[in-house]
Amino acid sequence: MPNSYTGKRTADVVVIGGGVMGCAAAYRLSGEGLSVIVLEKDEICAGASGRNAGGVRQSARDVRELPLAIHAVKHIWPALGEELGVDVEYVQQGNLRLGRTEAHLEKLRGLVDRNIRAGLDLRMVSGAEAREICPYMSEEVIGASWCPTDGYANPLVTTFGYYRRALDNGAAFITGVSVMGLGKVRGAVRRVYTDDGVFEAGRVVLCAGYYSRAVASTVGIEIPVEREDEEVFVTEQLPPMFDQVLGTAEADFYGHRTKHGSFLLGGVSGLQRFTSNHDGCPTEAYTAPSLVRAIIGFFPAFADVKIIRSWSGHFDACADGVPVISNVDEVPGLTVACAFTGHGFGISPAVSVAVKELVMDGESRTIDVSGLRYDRFKAKQ
Ligand SMILES: Cc1cc2nc3c(=O)[nH]c(=O)nc-3n(C[C@H](O)[C@H](O)[C@H](O)COP(=O)(O)OP(=O)(O)OC[C@H]3O[C@@H](n4cnc5c(N)ncnc54)[C@H](O)[C@@H]3O)c2cc1C
């Protein structure tokens, strides 16, 4: 059967995946004058980037990825709307991570200590101080971590903002084309095999979420990720109660208000790995009730609020919980950016800076991603 795509099949860089990582990388690389083709098996923003809750969080991150989060919040998020020419709905009113037991506080203190040592401005607050910041929470909250510079943004608008600016820069986006594997020429990656023929690239950026694992394996690279499902729901419009992002020590739920007045609340039941059939992105019976119970426990004011819509998405959960952002020594020309483990959106603007430098300069100089290499994994036995 002849190939259906009849356009140009050669570019300086072929990007695999049209989520926020692929669109942002395409924007940065095309902005440097490189020709870029993005190959997306579905539609732009059809994966986790179009389904996430939009948290832009530095707090409670592993110190290996904290430099990305701090860089994004300090240097990119505040002016990103202006840069992309769209309102990304960025709100920076802080993040409270709540505790109801001494064990919760112990856990939160550990996170806070590690993050402070890595340069983040955050602290523990008492239950009373937490209620001063956000008066709607239950008296059962006895303490929290408080990061005043965390926030949230709109992931759909952000991803499409990057997409449109990349198009303006001349990048080509080809949707409905699935990458099946990579091929080397004279030792370096050059070919991208798809279900619609072959593309030739000077460099390849692989950011296909969970599916990066299968694509990388075609050139002998194993990225230890598994698929995990998570759900989000949106409430009816409510009076503007608070603008902080909320989470808990045990990650029972997270959420925040949106620009339109609803609340976005999300999380997992802990059972979805055993209940989801991994076919598409279905919601499952346990998650919404368990999230609702957790939310009402912390915020009794939500008891009579109506949920108007819910959805699920899946992400690439890495064996050690942090992303892989790296050039691959055994496959010159290949840059990998995946395994974001359910918290990639907030760091995506900074990831695109690191990816651009990895592609163009061979190393990420602006942001330290040395702890996120593809070859850091050690077998446990
Ligand atoms: C329910 C949920 C809530 C979340 N909440 C937050 C949050 O509040 N804050 C936060 O920071 N992060 C959050 N995340 C995580 C965040 O959404 C992801 O880390 C981020 O979107 C990753 O972007 P990506 O571009 O790597 O992946 P994706 O958006 O999944 O994009 C990968 C793309 O690659 C395409 N693709 C796959 N295989 C192929 C192939 N073979 N050929 C061509 N294309 C292919 C897919 O179709 C997809 O469009 C959440 C995730 C979920 C699911």
pLDDT 10s digits, 1-50: 678 999 999 999 999 999 999 999 999 999 999 999 999 999 999 999 99
Find out whether the beta carbon of 19 lies less than 6 Å from any atom of ligand 1: yes
Residue nearest to atom 13 of ligand 1 (CA): 343
Q: How far is the CA of 316 from the centre of ligand 1 (A)?
A: 8
Provide the 8-state DSSP code for 121.
Answer: -
CATH number of residue 218's parent domain: 3.50.50.60
Quick check: is 205 in a domain? yes
Q: Decide which of 274, 294, 318 is a domain's last residue.
A: 318
Ligand 1: does its nearest atom lie under 6 Å from the Cβ of 41?
A: yes
Distance set, CA 113 to CA 62, 63, 116, 145, 290 (Å)? 12, 11, 5, 10, 30
378 in any annotated domain? no
Q: 156: exposed, middle or buried (C-beta count within 10 Å: 0-12, 13-18, 19+)? A: middle
> What are the residues whose beta carbons fall under 8 Å from the beta carbon of 4, sequence distance 6 or more?
196
Domain boundary among 318, 334, 352: 318
| pLDDT value at residue 288 | 86
CA of 19 to the centre of ligand 1 (A): 6
Q: In this structure, are 200 and 235 located in the same domain?
A: no
231 CA to centre of ligand 1 in angstroms: 13
Domains identified in the chain, total number: 2
Which residue's CA is minimally distant from atom 7 of ligand 1? 55
> What distance in angstroms lies between residue 315's CA and the mean position of ligand 1's atoms?
6
Contact assessment for residue 199 and residue 192, using Cβ atoms and an 8 Å cutoff? yes
Statement to judge: residues 164 and 250 lie in one domain? no
Residue 2 lies in a domain: no
Q: Domain for residue 215, yes or no?
A: yes
**Is the domain of 347 the same as that of 301?**
no
Return the structure tokens found at 311.
């959805």
Provide the pLDDT for residue 330: 96
Looking at residue 207, its pLDDT comes to 98
Do the beta carbons of residue 161 and residue 153 sit within 8 Å? no
CATH of the domain at 278: 3.30.9.10
Q: How far is the CA of 48 from the centre of ligand 1 (A)?
A: 3
Are 120 and 167 found together in one domain?
A: no
The answer to whether residue 359 is domain-embedded is: yes
Q: What is the token pair recorded at 321?
A: 């919980």
For residues 106 and 242, membership in a common domain is answered with yes
Residues 257 and 288 in one domain: yes
Task: Give me the pLDDT at residue 277, please.
Answer: 65
Residue 58 included in any domain: no
Identify the bridge partners of residue 235 per DSSP, sorted by sequence position: 307
* Same domain for 230 and 135: yes
Domain boundary among 318, 342, 358: 318
Question: Quick one: pLDDT at residue 59?
Answer: 96
Ligand 1 binding pocket includes 255 (Cβ within 6 Å) = no
Answer yes or no: do 327 and 193 share one domain.
yes
Question: Based on the domain organization, do 237 and 134 belong to the same domain?
Answer: yes
Question: Would residue 240 count as lying in a domain?
Answer: yes
**How far is ligand 1, taken at its centre, from the CA of residue 50, in Å?**
7
What atom in ligand 1 is closest to the CA of residue 44?
49
Q: What is the DSSP string of 286-335?
A: THHHHHHHHHHHH-GGGTTPPEEEEEEEEEEEETTSS-EEEE-TTSTTEE
Q: Which domain holds residue 287?
A: 95-148+226-318
Q: Is the CB of 215 under 6 A from ligand 1?
A: yes
Quick check: is 56 in a domain?
Answer: no
**Whether residues 219 and 241 fall in one domain:** no
Q: 110 and 191 share a domain?
A: no
Query: Which pLDDT score is estimated for 284?
Result: 82
Phi-psi region of 209 (alpha: psi -120 to 50; beta: other; left: phi over 0): left
φ/ψ of 317, rounded to 5, equals: -85, 120
| Inter-residue contact 334 to 206 (CB < 8 Å) | yes
- CA-to-CA distance for 210 and 336, rounded, in angstroms? 12
**pTM metric for this prediction:** 0.96
pLDDT of residue 271: 82
136 and 196 together in one domain: no
Q: Which residues of the chain have pLDDT under 50?
A: none
